[in-house]
């Protein structure tokens, strides 16, 4: 890192809530927000937004004609971005960039438009602009009225942390002083769930207290569960007094895949991304790692092996949030970042309730966050107080 980067705000809109106090309260409980819901005629475990947040989405949709036909992924992003910008003290007309990504984009709308096309052979005039991935950043920019670049991308499940990487790059290059980065996902649709089930990675634990067994290294079946939501972070160049945390290191890597949806046995991509993020850092000063840990057998074990390769026998505390929130695809990395910041802020480590309890022996000052997705695209980010 040539120049320090401050995280002056982080905001989310997820099954855990939409305020730091609410999100932290929900992290402190052993309760999972994964429930059984009927989607596409089938009962499946998913993590949905609470009723209060669903009402906020509906209120935004009804607040003007321009919002009524937008996909939920766009509306989630707008609501989370408003909270982040307000917390950071950014206002309309301020100069800041926007980079918000999504793994799937407007999944719900796309399925609706395509279904109508199959039946009639025609489609709605707005089908194309309302389903492009760039639609999310564009609408957030329209809503916040920023003076700066707006960027979108999709890099599967590491999308949100890739947005953070890009924001850091702009700040380090001196091309911007502030950047809003994050991810948004609304994947709870019949076709998306069918895709995950076809790959045999979706959880079939309909009666288990914890349908997603992320960080359970003894599970015999894949237990990935999908969740929905958005998360954003405000980045500013330099050390800022109002920073929630500072970015000390960033790392990224892509490995050669043997299969389109799996990574190597010891997650070579994550080894490389963690090593890059930790370059020059005393590993004993890293207090915890928020793992990607999607709840699949291969995904969880390979990441654990990668962490062992990097840290050896002196492992930091290890945790994940997908047993609680489900896997939110492109938004997941920023939700993990939020979890890390909250743990540092409250100096409290969040345990995985069905895993062996780990003892926090020292203050949480440095935490590493991992994300990786289909395609072997890994990102690691080191933050500190």
CA pseudo-torsion sign 48, 9, 293, 100: positive
What pLDDT is recorded for position 94? 96
Together in a domain, 252 and 230: no
Together in a domain, 233 and 251: no
Question: Which of 194, 212, 237 is at the close of a domain?
Answer: 237
Together in a domain, 217 and 271: no
Average pLDDT over residues 88-101: 97
Together in a domain, 210 and 277: no
Tokens 């050390």 sit at which residue? 239
Q: Which residues of 5-35 are buried (b: 16+ CB within 10 A; e: fewer)?
A: bbbbbbbbbbbbbbebeebbebbeeeebbbe
Closest to 223 in 3D by CA, of 237, 240, 203, 206: 203
User: Of how many residues is the chain composed?
Assistant: 385
Q: Order of strands across the sheet with 226-227?
A: 34-39, 42-47, 226-227
Q: Is residue 356 part of a domain?
A: yes
Tell me the angle at which helices 268-277 and 297-311 cross, rounded to the nearest 10 degrees: 40
Question: Which of 207, 237, 267 is at the close of a domain?
Answer: 237
Q: Is the pLDDT of residue 263 over 90?
A: no
Together in a domain, 251 and 215: no
Average pLDDT over residues 10-37: 97
pTM score over 0.95: yes
Confidence of residue 200 (pLDDT cuts 50, 70, 90): very high
Average pLDDT over residues 304-322: 97
Both tokens of 358, joined, read 């780990």
pLDDT digits (tens, 9 = 90+) for 325-355: 999 999 999 999 999 999 999 999 999 999 9
Together in a domain, 153 and 275: no
Together in a domain, 226 and 265: no
Q: Distance of CA 228 to CAs 57, 64, 328, Å?
A: 13, 24, 5
Confidence of residue 259 (pLDDT cuts 50, 70, 90): low
Q: Is the pLDDT of residue 262 over 80?
A: no
Confidence of residue 133 (pLDDT cuts 50, 70, 90): confident
> What is the residue-wise DSSP string for 90-150?
--TT---EEEEE-SS-SHHHHHHHHHHHHHHS---TTHHHHHSTHHHHHHHHHHHT-SS-E
What pLDDT is recorded for position 261? 59
Q: Distance of CA 340 to CAs 160, 222, 244, 246, 350, Å?
A: 15, 25, 11, 12, 9
Q: Is residue 172 part of a domain?
A: yes
Least confident residue range of 250-254, 262-266, 361-365: 262-266
The residue segments making up the domain with residue 302 are 247-384
Q: Is residue 295 part of a domain?
A: yes
Q: Distance of CA 225 to CAs 34, 36, 196, 220, 247, Å?
A: 8, 11, 9, 16, 30
Q: Is residue 242 part of a domain?
A: no
HSE-CB of 130 using CA atoms within 13 angstroms? 21
Average pLDDT over residues 57-62: 98
Query: What is the overall mean pLDDT for the chain?
Result: 96
């Amino acid at each position: 890192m040539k120049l320090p980067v401050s995280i002056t705000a982080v905001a989310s809109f997820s099954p855990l809530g939409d305020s730091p106090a609410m999100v932290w309260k929900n992290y402190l409980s052993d309760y999972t927000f994964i429930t059984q819901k009927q989607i596409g005629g089938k009962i499946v475990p998913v993590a949905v937004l609470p009723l209060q947040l669903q009402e906020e989405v509906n209120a935004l949709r009804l607040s003007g004609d321009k919002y009524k036909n937008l996909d939920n992924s766009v509306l989630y992003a707008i609501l989370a971005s408003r909270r982040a910008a307000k917390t950071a003290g950014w206002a309309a007309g301020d100069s800041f960039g926007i980079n918000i990504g999504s793994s799937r984009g407007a999944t719900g709308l796309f399925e609706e438009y395509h279904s109508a096309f199959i039946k009639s052979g025609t489609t709605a005039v707005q089908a194309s602009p309302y389903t492009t991935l760039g639609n999310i950043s564009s609408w957030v920019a329209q809503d916040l009225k920023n003076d700066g670049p707006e960027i979108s991308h999709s890099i599967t499940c590491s999308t949100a942390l890739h947005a953070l990487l890009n924001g850091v790059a702009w700040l380090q290059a001196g091309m911007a002083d502030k950047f809003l980065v994050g991810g948004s996902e609304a994947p709870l649709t019949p076709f998306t769930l069918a895709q995950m089930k076809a790959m045999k990675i979706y959880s079939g634990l309909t009666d288990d207290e914890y349908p997603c067994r992320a960080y359970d290294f003894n599970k015999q079946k894949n237990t990935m569960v999908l969740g929905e939501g958005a998360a954003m972070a405000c980045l500013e160049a330099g050390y800022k007094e109002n920073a929630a945390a500072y970015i000390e290191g960033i790392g990224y890597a892509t490995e050669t895949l043997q299969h389109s949806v799996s990574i190597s046995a010891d997650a070579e991509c994550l080894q490389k991304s963690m090593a890059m993020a930790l370059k020059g850092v005393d590993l004993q000063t890293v207090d915890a790692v928020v793992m990607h840990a999607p709840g699949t057998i291969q995904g969880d074990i390979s990441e654990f092996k990668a962490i062992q390769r990097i840290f050896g026998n002196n492992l930091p505390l290890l945790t994940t949030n997908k047993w609680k929130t489900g896997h939110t695809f492109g938004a997941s990395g920023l939700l993990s970042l939020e979890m890390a910041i909250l743990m540092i802020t409250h100096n409290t480590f969040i345990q995985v309730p069905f895993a062996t309890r780990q003892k926090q022996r020292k203050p949480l000052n440095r935490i590493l966050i991992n994300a990786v997705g289909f395609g072997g695209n890994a990102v690691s980010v080191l933050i500190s107080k």
